[in-house]
Amino acid sequence: MPRYFFDIHDGFHQRDDVGTHCDDVQAAALEAKRLLPAIAVNEIPTDGERQTITVVVTDEDGYAVYSAALAFVGTWLLR
């Protein structure tokens, strides 16, 4: 079973040095999609109204094979 690495970019770069075994690249993409909401629960922007969290999946050879992003955008409606 191949190992995939899930690097997180949310204003900082967090490299995954351990990786996760997934059946194939589609399973790795699904795992990336699952990670985003779990990360976002604790990553509420405090210094603005916009933040994007990105997960970049790389294979065992170091090639990027998938990327997923979740964006937070807040807009003040008061005047």
Q: What's the confidence (pLDDT) of residue 22? A: 97
Long-range contacts of 43-51 (CB under 8 A, 24+ apart): 43/10, 44/72, 45/72, 45/74, 49/73, 49/74, 49/75, 49/76, 50/74, 51/10, 51/11
Q: Is residue 39 part of a domain?
A: yes
Q: Which domain holds residue 41?
A: 3-73
Read off the pLDDT of each residue in 43-63 and give the average, rounded to a whole number.
87
pLDDT in tens, 31-49: 999 999 998 887 776 777 8
Q: Is residue 17 part of a domain?
A: yes
Residue of 30 and 42 predicted with greater confidence = 30
Structural domains in the chain (count): 1
Q: Is residue 79 part of a domain?
A: no
